Structure 1
Amino acid sequence: MTDAKQAKLRVAIAGLGSIGARVARELDRGIDGMVLTAVAVRDKDKHHAFLDSLRARPVILPLENLWEAADIVVECAPSRNLRATVEPVVRRGKTAIVLSAGALLDHEDLIALAKAHGGRIMVPTGALIGLDAVNAAACGVIHSVRMVTRKPVDGLRGAPFIVENNIAIDGLREPLKLFEGSARQAAKGFPANLNVAVALSLAGIGPDRTMIEIWADPTVERNTHRIEVASDSARFSMGIENIPSENPRTGVITALSVISLLRKQRASLCVGT
């Protein structure tokens, strides 16, 4: 009889974009105690060759049925699909790893639902460093959190805030500040760009007190984040320059953050909170 402690955790992935495909490939290569069992994709034909290249081909299921084949579901599909992906998972007491952190602010009831049914919603560190420090500081009193984000123009095109305010960013020759306000406001105006801001706010003092600046910067080639935190335990600043993936809105390190979180689930040694 198989020891329940040794049974592999089944992992399903919602979306096979730059993040989902990287995570799927790593799971297929082998993460201790994990097995890739299912994926959800919008266009099966588009991903046929990729899935066939895996050593163990996962089944393709609709978003709302991924829970049937998994203990953990990694959500990295478009943010509009957050509820369809996450709700059935946490309702059945399972774990959802959520990349669309910004969309959580529009579906905060999912947190209460997870609590009621013994489910978990986990937001990986993603494109930020230092969330451990922010989490620790939040056990005391955090006075302020401020983040300044600078992105290449290509990574910001089409953002609702830019479109609605008719802001011209093509042909910029110098940095242009697009936005200054709360993380909640930033998530609405830049839903494909500011999941990092929401993750920062959830780790610290919340989306309404976490302040964000967003710049379109033709002088940078990487997504750059600078964070300043003042608390009763420490004052600290952090900076990171993320190498963009094939999707200019997403850094390579985001997928690696998910992989790191998955590895921790069955690791004998975990470093960091």
Structure 2
Amino acid sequence: MADLSKRSPALRVAIVGLGPIGIKVAEALDRGIDGLVLSAVSVQHPDKHRDWLAKLSRPPAILPIDGLAEVADIVIECAPSKLVRSIVAPFVKSGKTAVVLSAGALLENDDLIDLARQNGGQIVVPTGALIGLDAVTAAAVGEITSVRMVTRKPVRGLAGAPYIVENNIDIEKITEPLRIFEGTAREAAKGFPANLNVAVALSLAGIGPDRTRLEIWADPALTRNMHRVEVESDSARFSMSIENIPSENPKTGRITALSVIAWLRKQRAALRVGT
């Protein structure tokens, strides 16, 4: 018979944003993840989501962002990158955990990492639409000499990106694969804030955003987001590739939500595989 006295209180989870990712995570929490409970959500238009939330078995509270840290231990950011600071700061300042999907925003708010360090908080960037971050993190304990990533996306998945707009690229007229960007992960994060969070996650796991090199290709023949990563280090040489099926939002792969759910399941799991 289980010793109930050894069970820790359930971790309370808040979600900011109920787009394709936020909804999937909320549904998973409502179905049940051991030791976790969905306590609150924050959305820009509450009335739009109220009926859907009411259908959950345990409807969470609907609160403004600045009220979440009082009712949750973990916050999951599924929101526009401009909101990252307002979401993350109250949690890490309170020694709690913030899961950040808009990883590119961390490059402009890197003091949040110091804030977390000073207060015993933690910022988590989940694997998301990329693979092999465990290997990159392990290689970074030694010495990595180079990291190169090539991303190929369907044309519509790049629509509206600041880099596309600023350089007057008419992506609707692209009829064959076209390299539209080459540079660092930091530059990519500024030019494609909704598209290349995977590149920032890769850079944070490895040799940083200024040494991680990236190419972006627009390919009208593709229906999936494709990433290939090549790493050279003193412990291993390896390459990784993945083809992600887009979610309802063409800028985001379906596996991104599943990555967050997998991380949540690890929090109280008896067996944890991977770092």
In the alignment, the residues of structure 2 paired with residue 5 and residue 160 of structure 1 have an alpha-carbon distance, to the nearest angstrom, of 48
TM-score (norm 1): 0.98
SS of residue in 2 equivalent to 1:268: coil
In the alignment, the residues of structure 1 paired with residue 5 and residue 225 of structure 2 have an alpha-carbon distance, to the nearest angstrom, of 45
One-letter amino acid matched to 1:234: A
In the alignment, the residues of structure 2 paired with residue 231 and residue 142 of structure 1 have an alpha-carbon distance, to the nearest angstrom, of 4
Displacement of 1:172 in angstroms is: 1.7
Displacement of 1:49 in angstroms is: 2.1
In the alignment, the residues of structure 2 paired with residue 47 and residue 122 of structure 1 have an alpha-carbon distance, to the nearest angstrom, of 26
**1:260 correspondence with 2:262:** yes
Partner of 2:188: 186
Partner of 2:115: 113
In the alignment, the residues of structure 2 paired with residue 192 and residue 95 of structure 1 have an alpha-carbon distance, to the nearest angstrom, of 22
Partner of 1:209: 211
SS of residue in 2 equivalent to 1:170: helix
Partner of 1:162: 164
In the alignment, the residues of structure 1 paired with residue 132 and residue 181 of structure 2 have an alpha-carbon distance, to the nearest angstrom, of 23
Partner of 2:174: 172
Displacement of 1:223 in angstroms is: 0.5
In the alignment, the residues of structure 2 paired with residue 227 and residue 64 of structure 1 have an alpha-carbon distance, to the nearest angstrom, of 38
User: Could you list the per-position Cα deviations for residues 22-59 of structure 1 after superposition, in whole angstroms to 9, with x for gaps in the alignment?
Assistant: 00000000000000000000001111221012100000
Distance 1:32 1:88, change over 3 A: same
Partner of 1:33: 35
In the alignment, the residues of structure 2 paired with residue 50 and residue 250 of structure 1 have an alpha-carbon distance, to the nearest angstrom, of 22
In the alignment, the residues of structure 2 paired with residue 3 and residue 75 of structure 1 have an alpha-carbon distance, to the nearest angstrom, of 32
**1:141 correspondence with 2:139:** no
Q: Identify the match of residue 235 of structure 1 among 223, 234, 237.
A: 237
SS of residue in 2 equivalent to 1:144: strand
Displacement of 1:6 in angstroms is: 2.2
Displacement of 1:220 in angstroms is: 0.9
Structure 2 unaligned segments of length 5 or more: list them.
none
Partner of 1:200: 202
Percent identity over the alignment is: 69
Structural mapping, 1:28-107, within 5 Å:
28-107=30-109
What is the root-mean-square deviation in Å for CA atoms of aligned residues? 0.9
Q: Identify the match of residue 248 of structure 2 among 241, 246, 249.
A: 246
Partner of 2:11: 9
Displacement of 1:3 in angstroms is: 4.3
In the alignment, the residues of structure 2 paired with residue 111 and residue 4 of structure 1 have an alpha-carbon distance, to the nearest angstrom, of 32
In the alignment, the residues of structure 2 paired with residue 125 and residue 64 of structure 1 have an alpha-carbon distance, to the nearest angstrom, of 27
User: Could you list the per-position Cα deviations for residues 221-250 of structure 1 after superposition, in whole angstroms to 9, with x for gaps in the alignment?
Assistant: 000000000000110000000000000000
Q: Identify the match of residue 219 of structure 1 among 215, 218, 221.
A: 221
Partner of 2:153: 151
**Aligned pairs, how many?**
272
In the alignment, the residues of structure 1 paired with residue 187 and residue 207 of structure 2 have an alpha-carbon distance, to the nearest angstrom, of 15
Displacement of 1:4 in angstroms is: 7.2
Structure 1 unaligned segments of length 5 or more: list them.
none
Displacement of 1:20 in angstroms is: 0.5
SS of residue in 1 equivalent to 2:128: coil
One-letter amino acid matched to 1:104: L
One-letter amino acid matched to 1:224: M
TM-score (norm 2): 0.97
Partner of 2:24: 22
